[in-house]
């Protein structure tokens, strides 16, 4: 690693170890996603057959037909 990269890495580690970065109270809930093909909303990421996929709120795999994205 270069000297500057090591310097910035050390600065970040020092700040983290000193408690400067307090993540208490952070919200780690999954973010609602929008399908970039059909623009459907209220989807969540999940794993299916070892791959990431979008699912609706009922847990069903999201399947869409892409809309014309250039309109």
Domain that holds residue 54: 30-71
Q: What pTM, to 2 d.p., does this model score?
A: 0.47
Split into its structural domains, the chain has a count of 1
Helix (H, G, I), strand (E, B) or coil at 5: helix
Residue 13 inside a domain? The answer is no
- Residues of the chain with pLDDT > 90, as a percent, come to 7
Q: Is residue 50 part of a domain?
A: yes
Indicate the average pLDDT of the chain: 76
Q: Which pLDDT value is given to residue 45?
A: 87
By CB neighbour count within 10 A (0-12 exposed, 13-18 middle, 19+ buried), where does 26 fall? exposed
The pLDDT assigned to 21 comes to: 59
> Mean pLDDT over residues 46-54, rounded?
88
Is there a domain that residue 2 lies in? no
What confidence score (pLDDT) does residue 71 get? 55
Q: How confident is the model at residue 34 (pLDDT cuts 50, 70, 90)?
A: confident
């Amino acid at each position: 690693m270069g000297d500057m990269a090591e310097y910035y890495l050390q600065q970040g580690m020092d700040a983290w170890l000193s408690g400067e970065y307090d993540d208490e109270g952070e919200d780690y809930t999954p973010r609602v996603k929008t399908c970039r093909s059909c623009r459907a909303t209220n989807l969540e990421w999940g794993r299916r057959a070892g791959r990431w996929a979008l699912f609706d709120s009922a847990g069903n795999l999201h399947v869409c037909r892409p809309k014309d994205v250039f309109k």
